[in-house]
Amino acid sequence: MTTPADRERGTLLALLGIVLVALSMRSAAGVIGAVFPILADDLEMDVVVLSVLGAAPPFGFALAGLLVPATTRRIGLEGALIAAIAFIGIGQLVRAASQEPILLVASTFLVMVGIGAGNVLLPPIVRRYAPRRIGLVTGVYLVLMSISASIPAFIGVQLAEAAGWRFAVGVWAILPVVAIVPWIGAVLQRRSRDAELVAPEVDEFAEVREPGPVTRAVARPRLVGASPTAWAITGSLVLSSISVYVAMAFLPSMLVASAGVSREAGGAALGVVLALGIPQALLVPLIASRKGTTLPLIAVSAAFTVVGWGGMLLAPGAAPLLWAFCIGSISMVFPLALLLVNTRTRDHRVTVSVSAFAQGLAYLTAGIFSLGLGFVHDATGDWTIPFIVLAATALITVPAILVLRRERYIDDEL
């Protein structure tokens, strides 16, 4: 029989697992952009290969968004998360050992599929294990994700110069190995309680739901596209994803080429972009929990989009760290969108489907932008057109604001 101590132990295991997964997820994405000038010399790669590498994260995330719902139905939330963590760890080790650009790209894509699956799975995992502390736990894991992304960007060049780029890339594989342990424990404990969980009323991890019209059909990802609110959340994620993943791929190279800064300064600028996720993850969920704050946050993010990329266009060398600050501030809509995935849904199946739908489309769009902008740069020889296009992405927020102001539940729209 399950005791209160068993239930508490299961919850603590899950919370520890959330912390470790958050720390392991973004380090792999943050390090490549910083050390690319070094590894490019070793593997004889150009900006076209960089654009493919830059597209790997969002394309991998998009594929994960398509695969996660079916995988979750087959092996459960925890099982799917374990598989995602394994992809991250194995991919990082293969990437560090790559001798050819094609293997580096393929292993990077594998890592990003794992990270993308984690992105989709964490919101419903939080809903399952911390249903009354969704905002707090979401803020905590987003802070940790930002830390894990920014540290490799800040120190990646130094590690690569001291011990080689392979060490600078591969050392972060330690984190997924550690992160998988508590989730194996959580799965084993949950399986031991299967007989007791046959009756829904005794599932202590059951989601807190508000009354509302929910059917099995609602949980199908293909039906989520009928919800205007789901599209508005997706638009917010698109704005953030384009700027963040273009910056992760190109910002150091952009600043070296356009502003004449050093490699270390370019890496530091990327570190600023990624480190801003820390205060955003802490503050945005708290601010967004107050009525009437969602739309102003989206509007402010749009303004930072214009100023940040417009500054890179007009005067890249005048204030590179200021432009990096503005570009990093665009991603304040990322924690906001993840919070909306939970707060604008009632049933956990809808939460999973909306999370997969929004993140999958957002990352697919970001991947297309990253790949396309790399080819545009290769064709034109400079970053002028990419900077104009990036500044214009602020227009995405207009329809998103118009829809989100209605404050509707996605379950009801479906």
pLDDT in tens, 221-254: 558 888 899 999 999 999 998 998 888 878 888 8
C-alpha to C-alpha distances, 319 to 152, 330, 356, nearest whole angstrom: 23, 17, 37
pLDDT in tens, 383-405: 999 999 999 999 999 999 999 88
State how far the Cα of 202 lies from the Cα of 184, in Å rounded to an integer: 22
Confidence of residue 9 (pLDDT cuts 50, 70, 90): low
Q: Tokens 């900006």 correspond to what residue?
A: 47
| pTM for the model | 0.69
**What is the architecture, at CATH level 2, of domain 4-188+214-413?**
Up-down Bundle (1.20)
Measured in degrees and rounded to the nearest 5, phi and psi for residue 44 equal 55, 60
pLDDT in tens, 17-61: 888 888 888 777 767 767 776 777 777 776 677 677 777 777 887
User: pLDDT at position 192, please?
Assistant: 65
Q: Where are the domains of the chain?
A: 4-188+214-413
Length of the chain: 414
**By three-state DSSP, how is residue 117 classified?**
helix
State how far the Cα of 80 lies from the Cα of 124, in Å rounded to an integer: 12
Residue 205 has pLDDT above 50, yes or no: no
